[in-house]
Amino acid sequence: MKHSEELKDIVKNKYSQIALNPGKRQKCGCCDSKNDYSIISDEYSGLEGYVKEADLNLGCGIPTKYAGISSGDTVVDLGSGAGNDAFVARALVGENGRVIGIDFTEEMIAKAELNNTKLGYSNVEFKLGEIENLPLDEKTADVVISNCVLNLVPDKNKAFNEIFRILKTGGHFCVSDIVLFGKLPEGLKESATAYAGCVSGAIPQEEYLRIISSAGFNEIEVKISKDVDLPEDLLCGYLSEQEKKEYDNKEFGIISITVTGNKLMSR
């Protein structure tokens, strides 16, 4: 397994390329196949606050839909990219709220700041930083959101501990992410990673929820889950006839989930 810093470099390089060439299908940083992120992205265009230039089709859900964001809240968006979810969150917090986007890719931060300058929002800002070591004080946020990013973080325990740290007591998070169920054949996992980039760091759903619980969160709830349907030619190229039957019978696979959790008390 690659060292965590090497994995971070791969992810950073890949998303830097996407920021610089948003309309171009990107090569995965660790393989020769093409990525198609749109197979797991959701439709945003009808949402208040939606900004087309900020939507790079990199998500796997709409966390703001289930985040319980109220007017006046401070919302932190982890892995904010070009600002898609941050601008939707801004429509919910209003003029009296605040939105902070965090991304560790300089090119994404620059793109988000350019979009924000065009919009003229004074209560939206973007900061360069890593999710495992957030550049924010304790108890900064009322709500933390993230969209198809945390599974790319090598140390998920540290990531959710950081989310807990920056949330106010009584605050909560809502995260859309990719998880696995059943035992995915290694060849299929590698090919799925090549095809849909954010599959790369996915872990089993039960382990993902256990990490959230161990960070101190309560009232953890999976709001929605949906299958990630991989193309038939991809499946046939990496699965035996028996494995294909098991996949069709939902014995293993890849799903996107949107999960929430509350910080009821400080540790």
Structural domains in the chain, sorted by start? 4-180+202-228+255-262 (3.40.50.150)
| Interacting residues of 187 by C-beta distance below 8 A, sequence separation 6+ | 238, 239
Listed residue (123, 128, 111, 98) closest to 52, CA to CA: 111
For residue 124, CA distances in Å to 65, 103, 240 come to 19, 14, 50
For the chain, the average pLDDT equals 85
Whole-prediction pTM value? 0.85
In this model, does residue 70 exceed pLDDT 90?
A: yes
pLDDT tens digits, residue range 160-182? Answer: 999 999 999 999 999 999 999 88
pLDDT, residue 154, reads 86
pLDDT, residue 72, reads 98
In this model, does residue 45 exceed pLDDT 70?
A: yes
Percent of the chain with pLDDT over 90: 58
pLDDT higher at 181 or 29: 181
Q: Choose the weakest-confidence range: 59-68, 73-82, 83-92, 236-245.
A: 236-245
pLDDT higher at 98 or 56: 98
* Contacts of 25-30 spanning 24+ positions with Cβ under 8 A: 26/197, 28/193, 28/194, 28/197, 30/193, 30/200
Mean pLDDT of 116-123: 98
pLDDT higher at 220 or 9: 220
pLDDT higher at 249 or 128: 128
In this model, does residue 257 exceed pLDDT 50?
A: yes
**Sorting pLDDT into bands at 50, 70 and 90, what band is 37?**
very low
pLDDT, residue 34, reads 44
Distance, CA of 236 to CA of 243 (rounded, Å): 10
pLDDT tens digits, residue range 178-202? Answer: 999 888 777 666 655 554 455 667 8
For residues 81 and 58, is the Cβ–Cβ distance under 8 A?
yes
pLDDT, residue 42, reads 79
In this model, does residue 246 exceed pLDDT 60?
A: yes
pLDDT, residue 14, reads 64
Q: Choose the weakest-confidence range: 81-90, 170-179, 233-242.
A: 233-242
Q: Choose the weakest-confidence range: 73-77, 214-218, 229-233.
A: 229-233
pLDDT, residue 28, reads 36
pLDDT, residue 75, reads 98
Phi–psi pair at 83, nearest 5 degrees: 105, 10
